[in-house]
Every structure is written in structure tokens, then in C-alpha cells.
Chains A and B, each alone.
Chain A
Amino acid sequence: MSGAKKHLRIGFIPLVDAAALIVAADGRFAADEGLDIELVREVSWSNIRDKLAIGLFDAAHMLAPMAIGSSLGLGQVKAPLVAPVNLAMNGNAITLSRALYEELFKEKGDPADPASSARALAAAIRAREAEGREPLTFAMTFPFSTHNYQLRYWMAAGGIDPDRDLRLVTLPPPFMVESMAQGQVDGFCVGAPWSSVAVDAGVGRILHFGCEIFARAPEKVLAMRRRDAEAAPDVAHALARAIAKAASHIETTKDQDEIAAMLARPDRVGVDAGIIRRTLVGKLKIDADGTMRENANYLVIGKAGALRPEAAQAVWLYAQMLRWAQADFSTVGVEEATRVFDADLFDAALGAPAAKASSDRDPGGAFDGARPVDDLRAYLAGFAIGCKT
């Protein structure tokens, strides 16, 4: 592209999974595509959604389920969005207060196995009920989020009904650690780096990485208004390319410190570069005593086809919404949801993948076995807890 660069205002929440967007904007990748990106740091997902919907942002770093919720008008006014590129898979972690962790695993139970830990949590909840104690409180960052679905899926696998057996509340990520320290929250599921902050502060212990619950949960997308993407597909293409190139740079560079330093800036993620580096490479301290856990898929930004939005991912997210009564089933709903994850837009910008991913039928990859989503009724019927269609 020649001439003046196209100026785009893009909102983001200070999280490591905005890395591809931040590196695209602050590095050379956006300029190479003829774009001049102005990043605007936001304090709430509601702000991100509203400012995108009314045109104060041209695009936004957004929770993948939120993009679907907005397009379907679930719990908000309908504003059709489209995601030309995914920003990240996974990246969350479930963290327990030290007290609850000790209560769960003092006698038996395997804290590394989600099936076992969910049963241990169920036992603790029953014991509390029997003793007439207050129910436990768990926090997540937004109802339309993978954090919410990860917590609920894991709990339900242990026989817990998350709407009845405990309190599930929404908290802004920076408030999680403080709320846990004050004993108002017993556990939470949040994106990086906030679990690491809780561990470093000695108030919590990381129990599971998000990828131990779902192997490949679509976490964040770059969202645009659908009518803008249709009116100016070249801008959507350029943005998808800039982000894809930034993402592959993040995955392949030898200089992870440079990336961490870029993200650590106070007007970007604004936390210590050392913590950011640990989350980028998937090597996290899970306990203040120094115990480490490593998983290369803790946060997936640009590898293994993660960038390509696919219809199956949208159906899988829609299935989570159905299960937890955020949506009522309709074939129109399925169609609308799949239109958000626009593989065509991505392919037009970056070329179609040579081979189709083999994991399509089970995009989530839950810990308790393969669950294809091509038959939503069968998918939902396979769970003891949650809504059926």
C-alpha cells in the first residue's frame, strides 16, 4: 500500500493474550500493511463491547464468546461482529486460596488431575453444606467468557451445579488477588498474568491451567463490526495479516525478552516483564514455595493454526452458552454464531490452509474425553449437569 496509512483505533484490555495485537501495532507489522494503529487501553469488557458497537473503536481485542453474544444480542443489544483473526487460545488458570487448596488435598486427591480435583471440590462443598457454613465463592471475569465455561465445565465434571452449589461472581482481573487475600473469594479463573500475581503475593496456588480443562479453547479474537468488514474488506485483510505476522514473530523469535518488554510498558499490559515472559513460554510458578509447572500450550498465540477462526469453534462456544442457559437453541443462532468466526475473511487475507485441521469435530478438547459438537443435542445430553436442548 502506498500513500497515507489507514488510521485505526483499537481497544484492548491489559492481558498477555493481546500480545499479537500489541506487537502488530507497536512493532513494524501494522505499518508494513499500511495501517497506523492507535491502541486504547480499557478497564472493562463492557466498555470494549460498547465502544466497538457504537463506532468509537474500529476493532477490539475481545473475549471470543462476547463476540458471539454481541452478534446474537444475548444480554445486550444486538450488534453483529466478525472476527477476521483469532488472537489467542487458552492462557487462563484456575487458582485457589491457600486455605481451600489445603482443605481439598490434605488427605487424598490429585491436584494435577482435573477429574480428581473437581471431586475433591464437590466433597468440600457437601461438607460445608452439612456443617451449615457459607457456600464457597468463585470469581471469573465476565459471563460470556471462556473463564466462566472452564470453571463450570470443570466443576460440573465433579458433580457440582455451579448455579446452585456455590456463588459464581464477576470481578475485574486486577481485583481478584485482593479479594482472595481478604477472604471474599475462594477461587478464580482469570487470564495471565493475574494468577501469577496471586502466587507471587502468596495468597493463592494455581490448581489448573486452562489448557488442562480444554486443550484448545478459543480465548480472544480481534473483533470488528460486520458491516465495516463488508464495506472495507481490504482493511480487515490488512489487519489480519499484520496480526498474523506479529503472532508468528512472537512464536518464533529468539528474543522473548524484547516481546516481554514491549508488553510490559505501563500503557500496555503494565506488569513486570519477568512475569509476562513466564506466561509467554508457559512456565509458571504455581506455588509461592517455588513449585513450577510447564505446558507449551498454556497460552497459544500463533502456532498450530490457532489464528484461523473456524465455524466449529463458534459452534463449540455456542454449545457452552446453551449448556449454561445464556442462549436458547435456534438454528438461526448457530448460523449467526458461525458467521462471527469468519474463516473466509482470514483465508482471503492469508491463504487457505493446505490441510484441514483434524480436530474440527471437537474444537474444545475437554479433559474428560472427545466430545464432538456436530450434534448439539447429543453433546448437551452427554452432561449430567446443565441445560439440554
Chain B
Amino acid sequence: MISMKGVSKVYVPDKPAALCDVDCEIAQGEFVFIVGHSGSGKSTFIRLLLRELVPTSGTIIVAGQDIIAMKNRRIPYLRRNIGCVFQDFKLLPNKTSYENVAYALEVIGKSRHVIATQVPEVLRLVGLEEKTDSYPDELSGGEQQRVSIARAFVNRPPLLLADEPTGNLDPATSLGIMSLLNRINKTGTTVLVATHDREMVDSMRKRVIALENGKIIRDQSRGVYGYGD
């Protein structure tokens, strides 16, 4: 699903790299945590996969496509195969929950009929069937994040990226979000979560890739957040 080889990203020349010579393979259907302190390169890792950033060197293959060599106008098609969830939700403020989720389908040209059946279904999956006509500022943080997960998942992408999805949420809400992501993973979607939520990582026992100063310092299946650090 994801293959990174020798990937480095330098934002400012002559400053330490955000990511330094990272190699990593993630198979289809995996659930992977990327952990590390702020500034360790987690977000850079995610943004590179979305082609929001281009690495300074190295190659990245996502779903069989070399996304470095990819032409700019192909980027939207890459992103339609990647659902993404962010710490700040990134919902369109002038659209209701329903419309935010529907937007991801409108973008790929789905008919109104398909939208009308799939959107309520996925909103039910995330437990928001009561809030379809609410605007983002009328929803709690946890609800907004569930809308954003619904949007990321509605077109059944093979890969779902989440950058600190529980960063702004309380522990109980976080648990709900994580179990939602876990359920999505069970449908066959590869899920990649960047987080520094220790409890969550330790309780879920998934593959953990730990980053520090832009380097992978640990990669273990069924891992925990870290050894007392």
C-alpha cells in the first residue's frame, strides 16, 4: 500500500531535516500508529503521503503510484483514494454535516441518487444520523471529527490517513474516534494514525512506528507508545 525509500524532507536549508532517510513499508489492510513528540516528523510524514509536500529526496509509492513523479493535475485523483482526517477537522464551515460528506462524493462526480443513499448510511455509521443538517459550528469537537471521518470514508478509499485525530478531544471522545477508525480498518481499509496519545496506542496494540528527530527509531507490530519516554 505504502512504500517509502530514503525519504528526506528539509524545510529550511542548513537546518535539521524534518524527515531524514526514512524507509518504510505498510501493507494493505494494516492499522499503523506513527508516534513521536511534536516536531518529530509525524505530520510531515502524513503530508508527504497526501502529496501536500514533495520530499527533498527519496521515492514514495502509494497504491502503486509514484507520487513524486506525479503530475500536478493528477493529484486530485490520488487524494480521492486517500481519506484524510485532521486534528482541526477541516470541515467546510458553510456546509452542513450532510453537505460536507456529500462534497467528497460530488468531487468524484457521483450522481445525486448515489449521494442520497451513501451519505446517510455513513453518517449512521459514525453515529450522527441526528445531526445531518447541523453546521460545523453547531457541533461539538467529537461530532465534527466524526463528520470528518465520515467524509474521509464515504467513498471507501483503500487508505485512510489521520493526523492527530484526537488531539483536540477529551479521552472518552477520543476512545470513540479510535474505535471508529478501528471499525473502518476492519472493512479492509489501511489506516495510518499519527498521534501522541499514549493511552490510546498502548490500549490498542497495533503496529507502532516511532519517530524521533525525523528518523524511525522503532517499528514493531503489536507495539506500545514507548519505553517510559
- Asked whether A and B interact, the reply is no
